[in-house]
Amino acid sequence: MAAFARALGADPADGVPPTYAAVYALFATAPQLFGDPEAAVDFANLLHAEQEFTWDRHPAVGETVTSRGRVAADMERRGMRFITFETEVTVGDEPVCRSRALFVIRGAAA
């Protein structure tokens, strides 16, 4: 977490940077999508096009979170594939964060 804060030029003493959600929400779950042969995601041509996070609260250092990802939409338009990937993060039964990512895969087969 401290290295993450420093990479953003932030002071780790100020607490967990909000977009550490990239780690505990997005990258805790998206690799399952990218690695799923059935999803057939062309990772080399994938771009992260949009991102939204909403928080009920920010997890604290030392808390254990559970993140569950799902594909909310998957469509092709003008030779590009658009995947909306949503992740729900909980601490126990308590929801703390939601992530919604739009991935665009260029040059998807029509």
Per-position x/- string for 13-32, each x denoting binding to other proteins as judged by CB under 8 A, each - no binding = -xx-xxx--xx--xx-----
For residues 45 and 107, what is the distance between their CA atoms, to the nearest angstrom?
A: 7
Binding to other proteins by residue 106, rule CB under 8 A? Answer: yes
Which residue in 35, 39, 52, 79 binds other proteins (CB under 8 A)? 52
Binding to other proteins by residue 62, rule CB under 8 A? Answer: no
For residues 65 and 72, what is the distance between their CA atoms, to the nearest angstrom?
A: 21
Instruction: Rank residues 23 and 91 by Cβ distance to other proteins and give the closer one.
Output: 23
Q: Do the strands 80-91 and 46-55 form a parallel or antiparallel pair, or are they unpaired? A: unpaired
Binding to other proteins by residue 79, rule CB under 8 A? Answer: no
* Minimum distance, C-beta of residue 88 to other proteins, in the bound complex (Å): 15
- How many CA within 13 A on the CB side of residue 87? 27
Which residue in 39, 58, 68, 87 binds other proteins (CB under 8 A)? 58
Q: What residues have CB less than 8 Å from 92, skipping those under 6 apart?
A: none
By rule CB under 8 A, what count of residues binds other proteins? Answer: 31
Element at 20 (helix H, strand E): none
